[in-house]
């Protein structure tokens, strides 16, 4: 696409477009990281809950 046509069509010059695209990539990356960390946190929560239940089970005095 011709540079002048691009600027008319988008209202952005090349530098402005690169900056908008860079910001979009950062936002997308942050969203992916947030999703990944949420999944990791969910897994860790389940792991900790399991360990807590195991500790309670092993620390409960057995009836004799």
Single pTM value for the model: 0.58
Give Cβ neighbours of residue 47 (< 8 Å, ≥ 6 apart): none
Q: Which two tokens stand for residue 22?
A: 């860079």
Average of per-residue pLDDT across 15-26: 91
Instruction: Tell whether 15 is covered by a domain.
Output: yes
Instruction: Tell whether 64 is covered by a domain.
Output: no
Which pLDDT band holds residue 31 (cuts at 50, 70, 90)? very high
Domain count along the chain: 1
Alpha helices in the chain (DSSP H): 3-10, 14-59
- Per the model's pLDDT, the better-predicted residue between 13 and 27 turns out to be 27
Domain that holds residue 49: 3-59
How distant is the alpha carbon of residue 52 from its chain centre? 27
**Residue pLDDT, tens place only, 36-63:** 999 999 999 999 999 999 999 998 776 5
- pLDDT value for 49: 98
């Amino acid at each position: 696409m011709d540079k002048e046509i691009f600027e008319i069509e988008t209202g952005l010059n090349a530098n402005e477009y690169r900056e908008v695209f860079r910001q979009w990539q950062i936002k997308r990356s942050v969203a992916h990281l947030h999703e990944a960390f949420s999944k990791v946190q969910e897994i860790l929560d389940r792991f900790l809950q399991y360990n807590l239940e195991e500790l309670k089970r092993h620390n409960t005095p057995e009836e004799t």
